[in-house]
Structures are given as C-alpha cells and as structure tokens.
Amino acid sequence: ERRSQAEPEFQQAVREVLETLEPVLEEHPEYIEGGILERLVEPERQILFRVPWVDDSGKVQVNRGYRVQFNSALGPFKGGLRFHPSVNLSVVKFLGFEQIFKNALTSQRIGGGKGGSDFNPAGKSDAEVMRFCQAFMSELVHYIGEHTDVPAGDIGVGSREIGYLFGQYRRMTNRYEAGVLTGKGKGWGGAEVRTEATGYGAVFFAEEMLQRVGESVAGRRAAISGSGNVAIYAIEKVQQLGGRAVTASDSGGYIVDEGGIDVELLKQIKEVERGRISEYADRKPGSHFVANGSVWDVRAEIAIPCATQNELGADGARSLLKNGVRAVTEGANMPTTPEAVELFQEAGVLFAPGKAANAGGVATSALEMSQNAARSRWDFDKSENRLHEIMRDVHDMTFAASERYGKPGDYVLGANSAGFVTVAQAMLEQGII
Ligand code: NDP
C-alpha cells in the first residue's frame, strides 16, 4: 500500500482480489512462505516514456506513454494499449494486474501486462493518429517482441491504430514479426473473430451462467453500456441468441431502442463514421437519446457494462435490482464498483467479473499468436467455436473454484482463486525471481 498510495484504481483492483483469497491461502501456506503476494503486486517492469509528435497545425505535442510488464510466469506479457486522456500509472497498473488472472483463466499460456497513453484520439485526424502511433512505437519497440511482450487494443486502440503501430515496428526492426501485436488486419496476420471476441465472449459467459440455473439469454432484455468494440459485439451476440439489447451509450449519454438495437446502423455510425451515439436516435425512428442520466435506469434482466471502470455504482445497482435484473456480466474491466458488486451478490443476482467474462478477447488474441506462429489461418466458424469452447471452460473452471472454496456461484471468488492458483503455482516452481 505504501508504494501505491497515489494509485486508487490499482489499490481497488488489488484489494478486490486479495480479499477473496483467504480460503486459498489457508489451503496453500507455501504461497505465503514463497512471498507470492508481495511479488505478485509489484510489476516485473514498468516503462514510462515521452511521446513527442507534430499535429496538423505544425505544433509539437507531447504525451506520456506507459507499458507495465506485470507478470510473465505463464508466458510473454500480454494485454492491450489504451489511448484515453484518463490514462495514468494507476489505471495501467490496475488493468495489468487484472490481466494476469484473466490470462491465466484462458489457459493460453500468456502473462499479464498493459499499456497506453494519455493521448486523446477524439477529434484527431487520421494523419495525426498515424504520427502519434509511430512516435509511440518508436520507443515501445525496445521492449516488446513475440516472445517478450505482445500488446493489443483497448479503449481508443482498434485495428487502425494496431496497423500504424505494426507498420512502425516493422520499419524499425526490419522484420516481419507478425506475432508481436494482435488485433491486426485480417489480410496481414489478424485472426477471424478477434474484433467480435470480447463482446461475444461476455454474452457466451452470461449464457453459461443462466443455463446453469435453467434460464437463458433468449427472450430477455439486455441493457448494455458503451458503443465501442466490446459493446457493439455484445449487442450483436445478445440478438443472435434471441435476446433483445435495448441500449447503447457513450460519454455523451445513452440511447434506448425498445425494438432492439439495429446493429448495422450502430456499426455504420461508430465503426465507419466514428460518430456519436446520439446520431443513432436521429436516424432510427422509435428510438430516443437521453443526454443526462444513467443507462442502468432502463429496465433489463441482463446488464452488460462495456464502457469503462467504475461506471456502474450503487445507484445503478439499486435501479437495476428494482427493475428485476437477473444477471450482470462485465464486458469492461472493473466497471462495477465494490459496493455495487456487494448489492448484486446479496440479492442473489448472477454476477460475472470482467477477468472471467471478458477473457474472450485476449483468448482470441492468443489464438492469433498461434496462427501467426504456425503461418496458418482459421476460418470464422472454427474461430468462433473455439472462442465458445474457451468461454465455457472459463465459466466451468470459475464455477468449480467457487464451489471448492465454499461459495458455489460466487464467480468473483471463483475467478480470483482459479486465476491466482495457476499463477502462484508457476511462480513457486520457477523460484524467487
Ligand atoms: P472502445 O474505445 O472501442 O469503446 C469505449 C466505449 O466506452 C465508448 O463508447 C466510449 O465512449 C465509452 N467510454 C470510455 N471511457 C468512458 C468514460 N470515461 N466515460 C463514459 N464512457 C466512456 O473500447 P473497448 O470497447 O475496446 O473497451 C471497453 C472496455 O472493455 C474497457 O474497459 C476495456 O478495458 C475492456 N476490454 C476490452 C477488450 C477488447 O478486446 N477491446 C478486452 C477486454 C476488456 P466515448 O467515445 O464517448 O469515450
């Protein structure tokens, strides 16, 4: 705690994990003796760097770049890059810490890391985004590699940015090292279903939880926040499974479409035009936009927060509970505050933490790495089936751990303990490093 006093998000993420580990540590005193906890909360390496670039008016801009290489006991560091003005060391460390356990749950042999910059892509021209990405990679190049650290996308980093980053990596190293980044374009090493994977995976996880208690997504209303990569494909999969996703949002407000969100229109506005969610209501009769207010006030049986950390607090939880929510699945990382998680769990709502529910994205990234290494390419159906299997395994592993440690159906305990034991055991066997 002393070393991370000014890092509230990181402390929140660590506390949330450590608080659940008591029964695990009782069973495994060797983890305490081996200093696993002390080692686990300290990143193996943190890199902070200057990112100077020139904007369209010719002015020099300077941002800060981050890469936190948190834990590589299971494989090369793996985790996304976030470009958003709110990025700071606390945010990158919380994301990197969560990533360790999430990656362990995928069983794909990948370590945990995260990075990004306080660069704000909103309103920047394509050329500015390219110059920023090139400047960012000019420094990051020294620390990554297919066997060392493999970054991917996150908020503000999609296939366009990964393309510019990869181009600069290739130019600077004079090597075609496809496996150094994931989320690449499909024509040059990207995997099928990577774009869809996190959103689809979160809904597959919700379906597994519901089926275990004899229910399903079909026929249910879902409230989804965000309108980025994760949200769009969570909405698409809810509809494919016969449910009805009725909301989407961005930092400007939320839309409600009682008939079910028109996914093609949503993709056109957000992916093609890079517009705002309010434009959906302008173009879709029968839908409406709410500028101020909470998307969690909309009645839904399934809630899938897919925007950012701490976006679903106690008020949102109370409102969802009042309206009869049955399942909450985190598409984003740590979107639900600890108070809200407690309210859901006390009310007996099925609650899936992000480190389990949104693991489909990084799992599919690992499949992209395998395909790059084998110089092969899987088709869409094979890739989606594999994602589905992985999410089923993550669910089953998480549920089994919740049973083993005394709280069947507590997926927070299940995800933390199953992820922790896998990493802790590897660290123990590899000695004090
Ligand atoms: P995108 O950049 O594609 O979309 C982010 C969405 O969330 C946008 O609608 C954005 O609205 C909204 N948002 C972001 N920050 C805020 C904020 N501070 N307040 C309100 N709204 C906000 O990102 P992703 O969809 O990739 O990521 C969303 C979440 O999912 C993040 O928590 C990320 O870490 C997590 N995640 C993503 C994975 C992936 O594969 N992409 C994998 C696993 C987790 P606006 O445009 O107004 O900012």
Model pLDDT for residues 271-317, shown as the tens digit of each residue? 999 999 999 999 999 999 999 889 999 999 999 999 999 999 999 99
Which residue lies with its CA nearest to atom 12 of ligand 1? 307
Q: Which residues are catalytic?
A: 114
Region class of 109: left (phi > 0), else alpha (psi between -120 and 50), else beta: left
Return the pLDDT at 28.
Answer: 97
- Within a domain: residue 305? yes
Which residue lies with its CA nearest to atom 29 of ligand 1? 332
Query: Taking residues 366-378, what's their average pLDDT?
Result: 97
Q: How far is the CA of 384 from the centre of ligand 1 (A)?
A: 22
Which atom of ligand 1 is least distant from the CA of 334?
32
Cβ neighbors of 420 (< 8 A, separation 6 or more) are 17, 21, 24, 101, 104
Query: Taking residues 360-375, what's their average pLDDT?
Result: 98
* Ligand 1 pocket test, candidate residues 196, 229, 233, most atoms within 8 A of CB: 229
- Same domain, yes or no: 148 and 236: no
Which residue lies with its CA nearest to atom 32 of ligand 1? 332
- Same domain, yes or no: 225 and 147: no
- pLDDT per residue as tens digits for the range 323-333: 999 999 999 99
Domain count, the chain: 2
Q: Tokens in use for 88?
A: 């700071």
What proportion of the chain, given as a percentage, has pLDDT over 70?
Answer: 100
Return the pLDDT at 181.
Answer: 98
- Within a domain: residue 170? yes
Distance, CA of 21 to CA of 100 (rounded, Å) = 15
Which residue, of 357, 384, 410, is where some domain finishes? 357
- pLDDT per residue as tens digits for the range 236-275: 999 999 999 999 999 999 999 999 999 999 999 999 999 9
Distance, CA of 290 to CA of 257 (rounded, Å) = 11
* Ligand 1 pocket test, candidate residues 308, 358, 364, 387, most atoms within 8 A of CB: 308
Average pLDDT, the chain: 97
- Same domain, yes or no: 177 and 286: no
Specify the CATH number for the domain of residue 140.
3.40.50.10860
Which atom of ligand 1 is least distant from the CA of 362?
42
- Same domain, yes or no: 168 and 132: yes
Q: How far is the CA of 228 from the centre of ligand 1 (A)?
A: 6
- The yes-or-no verdict on residue 206 having pLDDT over 80 is yes
- Same domain, yes or no: 7 and 154: yes
Contact of 362 with 76, CB cutoff 8 Å: no
Residue of 433, 17, 394 lying closest to 198 (CA atoms): 394
- Same domain, yes or no: 201 and 176: no
Ligand 1 environment, Cβ below 6 A: 86, 153-156, 198, 226-231, 250-252, 306-308, 331-333, 358, 361
- The yes-or-no verdict on residue 138 having pLDDT over 80 is yes
Query: Taking residues 43-64, what's their average pLDDT?
Result: 98
- Within a domain: residue 33? no
Which residue, of 304, 334, 357, is where some domain finishes? 357
Q: How far is the CA of 155 from the centre of ligand 1 (A)?
A: 5
- Same domain, yes or no: 228 and 177: no
Q: Supply the range of the domain harboring residue 302.
A: 197-357
Which residue, of 149, 181, 213, is where some domain finishes? 181
Query: Binding site for substrate: what residues are annotated?
Result: 78, 99, 102, 153, 365
- Within a domain: residue 266? yes
Query: Binding site: what residues are annotated?
Result: 78, 99, 102, 153, 198, 229, 365
Q: What is the DSSP secondary-structure string of 176-226?
A: --GGGSSS--GGGTPPTTHHHHHHHHHHHHHHHHHHHTT--STT-EEEE--
- Within a domain: residue 138? yes
Which residue lies with its CA nearest to atom 20 of ligand 1? 251
What proportion of the chain, given as a percentage, has pLDDT over 90?
Answer: 98
- The yes-or-no verdict on residue 4 having pLDDT over 80 is no
- The yes-or-no verdict on residue 1 having pLDDT over 80 is no
Q: How far is the CA of 271 from the centre of ligand 1 (A)?
A: 13
- Same domain, yes or no: 101 and 211: no
Return the pLDDT at 276.
Answer: 97
- Within a domain: residue 6? yes
- Same domain, yes or no: 160 and 267: no
Query: Binding site for NAD(+): what residues are annotated?
Result: 198, 229
Which atom of ligand 1 is least distant from the CA of 358?
43
Which atom of ligand 1 is least distant from the CA of 153?
41
- Same domain, yes or no: 85 and 174: yes
Q: How far is the CA of 387 from the centre of ligand 1 (A)?
A: 21
At 5, is the pLDDT very low, low, confident or very high (cuts 50, 70, 90)?
confident
- Same domain, yes or no: 224 and 314: yes
At 97, is the pLDDT very low, low, confident or very high (cuts 50, 70, 90)?
very high
Contact of 25 with 32, CB cutoff 8 Å: yes
Which atom of ligand 1 is least distant from the CA of 307?
7
Which residue lies with its CA nearest to atom 28 of ligand 1? 307
